[in-house]
Structure 1
């Protein structure tokens, strides 16, 4: 965990200074005590850069200063192989939290570290590329981190690292991808609309076929400094990286003129993890089961669990609570003409709360681009908490305040998270929650089960699930909350 490094607020004139120096790697240390493992795991950092320490003096920090060493797997006291999984976040500077609230490694730092340590390959699936602020026709200081990531990507081919990209087509701006292609990147544009009627909405990285990133952040400069994002990075886990790489390979197969979805995907692309057959390994020193889900079903190879199935099964598995944080929640086909009702997830939540008395909480984003229909559906859920049913369902809206920019930054200041945490499982995805995203549009999910070892005592953080729960509760109880009844006020912001 490190405090998210944000740029100081500056007047939006002139180019911003570069923040990134020469890159290198650091190593994670061996655990000294099991309950301190997760807070002691630090991914590589850049030479000459210092980790920002949180205010809590009880958190210990130690970075092994070996610039050339690869990030290595940890060993538990029993010498079993363990892999490092960490949450990553983008926290806009306008969001204010309490000093003791949980903070995690910034997505910017995680991406830069992955690129700095890449030796052979970097595979990225993305909705679009706008890492530089050329899309707003002016230079903004908060875009510096995006430009840093772009420059690191640009340098990969010259370092002998193969950069492969699968990106939705058409893009709003092709400036970034065209320049990356000129420098040797292998760009494959995928017109998913012609194939399924959807888009490529996935956000994933596979580095050296052993490190992975999955999360909500687009390849956009705003996703690093202006939008609230959440994801996960898993280090040195070739088994999961190879499985995720198969999904990436499917996107690549669908690029180019005349591409079509095969009647059956090649056996070589069959899933290596699923709901019924998860990978079993050590995550941060604790036994875990995890798998990758995918959407739409047409892009699920043999054995692959669909993303919708993963979400519904996670809800049905819950025994005490289901906490959900997504930007959009609409039980309908939002982009169909005419729109149609689609209650699959909605029914699962109603059954969890009203039939099994599971505490259901939804934290939904509210900003100027929120669809008005969404709040009608949310009200229909929230009203179930009243008599005679008194179902334990609560809905709150999360607002990322603007900073008074003139002119305002377009498509900024929103909680873009897409995750769910229950008393047993953690789910981190890339999709908004409406029918289109699960039946037509590409997306992936990471599902982690450490419930057999999910005990907690004061001051100790053992599992990813517990950390994700703490992030949710931090936001649920923050000053950025607006009650559902005031949704009209936050849709007028910006």
Structure 2
């Protein structure tokens, strides 16, 4: 009898363990995580030489010598979205196209444009593999607009400072160098060689600061496909010096790293100190609705100036604060390294997601991506706990029963007419939203991006307890639009090799 009672007591715990441990069944669409022969345009496959450890200094002990403007109610927050025109035709979602966001940044510039970038293929001429000539000509026009606007700004004498990733196979610096040559006195370009500093990695950011007044942080690369044929999300903030100055401090660190014979300092000089992080955010007054609490995080830790949150730690803090729902959308995801071989386990984000569902009964929805292009693999870690919530106890004091659950879906864009455009037709976003906050970043969610890859994230939440922040709510609605769409398929409708178990009849 005692034995039977013990089994009854332990059974729910054992079932829960088995279900949640099932996450290790495999990796979705990955062929051999530890395959040393894998190749990819995005990374050098080499063991990482660890950079010197960083000991953060509390923000109240940071020396600050830069410019730090007060936030005002004039700050204008705009959600910028790249949304291929065939996905949701004739529907308005209240976002601004990434192209229009960037054109506004350039056209309102009076003195200086500062850019942090990965690679440059704004022009169709830089996309030699594009085999659908007419389709490519049509959709590359937005990239041409951005390129022409930057040329025009250089012609007018506006200073332009571009930090880009050091050239890797398949990429050139033709576009930024051509912009520089229009006005070599005022336009400068530097390449940042991350392996020299960190043993591996890339500059993966996609960020702007203009006149210390306007800014953008998001997932869109300087690529015509990122403007029209890839799904992207970012945030532009106009007429808001307190925000733009902080973005520029991060971009100026990239600029310093691009200097000849530069070295990583033990601590970055005081002019790069931030005056905002998760625990001490910028308080941005609002003319209507609750005030905003805003801050930036960055990766890797060796690039964090005094007071700056590391990107992964900031993400975990925000996730740990979710109490009702947590909606997440990213291109590639894994609780490990993907590019540093052999791969290594790294569960900071994974553990936070599980805590949300298991400990706090949070409804977690996770949307990952499948590349249509055969030239790029998708790396999406396979959740194997679709019934996770059913094995958890009910939340105390809540009726009817509320239990945590994690659901995963694959977002796959239709490929008809676009299958020959390389590296396109994919959800490339990197964001999440809870009832309290939203985070929008430039990095995918595997350990490489937090250990050795340059990236930035913006976090926005209400500064007032219980306040319903508009940007947060708008991001939630964008997620649910995609989650409920015909392009989002439950992960269990796919085999482990990425093929569907059955074809859609839509």
Using the size of structure 2 for normalisation, the TM-score is 0.76
- The residue that corresponds to 2:293 in the other structure is 289
1:380 is matched with: 384
Give 1:94 deviation, angstroms: 2.5
Match of 1:199 in 2: 202
Q: Within the alignment, does 1:104 sit opposite 2:111 as a pair? A: no
Within a 5 Å distance, the mapping from 1:69-468 to structure 2 comes to: 81-96=73-88, 99=91, 102-137=93-128, 140-171=137-168, 172-184=171-183, 185-196=187-198, 197-283=200-286, 285=288, 286-368=290-372, 371=377, 374=380, 377-382=381-386, 384-387=388-391, 391-405=404-418, 408-450=420-462, 452=464, 463-468=470-475
Single out whichever of 429-438 and 139-148 deviates more from structure 2. 139-148
1:481 and 2:473 correspond: no
Q: Residues of 2 paired with 1:356 and 1:432: CA distance?
A: 25
Give the conservation status (yes or no) of the 8 Å contact 1:97–1:478: no
Distance 1:154 1:244, change over 3 A: same
How far has the Cα of 1:373 moved from its partner?
Answer: 6.0
Cα distance change, pair 272–233 in 1 and its aligned pair in 2 (3 A): same
Count of residues in Structure 1 that have an aligned counterpart in Structure 2: 406
Do 1:370 and 1:491's aligned partners in 2 also have CA atoms closer than 8 Å?
no
Distance (whole Å) between structure 2 residues aligned to residue 308 and residue 367 of structure 1: 25
Deviations 1:320-349 (A, max 9, x none): 111111111111111121111111100001
Cα deviation for residue 378 of structure 1 reads: 2.6
- 1:12 match: none
- What's the counterpart of residue 5 of structure 1? none
Unaligned runs of 5+ in 2: 1-70, 394-402
Distance 2:173 2:160 in 1: 17
Residue 23 of structure 1 is matched in structure 2 by none
Kept after mapping to 2: 8 A contact 1:122/1:205 = yes
Distance 2:490 2:333 in 1: 16
The verdict on how the C-alpha distance between 1:147 and 1:236 changes in structure 2, with shifts beyond 3 A counting, is same
Instruction: Indicate how the Cα distance of structure 1 residues 294 and 405 shifts in structure 2: closer, same or farther if over 3 A, else same.
Output: closer
Report if the CA contact (8 A) 1:84-1:283 is conserved: no
Question: Contact 1:84 / 1:284 at 8 angstroms: preserved in 2?
Answer: no
1:32-91 Cα distance to aligned partner (Å, 9 max, x none): xxxxxxxxxxxxxxxxxxxxxxxxxxxxxxxxxxxxxxxxxxx9xxxx733110111011
Ranges in structure 1 where 5+ consecutive residues have no aligned partner: 1-74, 457-461
**Closer, same or farther: CA 405–302 of 1 in aligned 2, 3 Å:** closer
CA distance change for structure 1 residues 198 and 442 in 2, over 3 Å: closer, same or farther?
Answer: same
Separation in structure 2 between the aligned mates of residue 151 and residue 118 of structure 1, nearest angstrom: 14
Residue by residue over 1:186-207, the C-alpha shift from the partner in whole angstroms, topping out at 9 and shown as x without a partner, is 1011111221111100111001
Q: Match of 2:382, SS?
A: helix
Find the residue that maps to 1:411 and give its secondary structure: coil
CA contact (8 A) 1:399 1:490 kept: no
Change (3 A) 1:371 1:379: farther
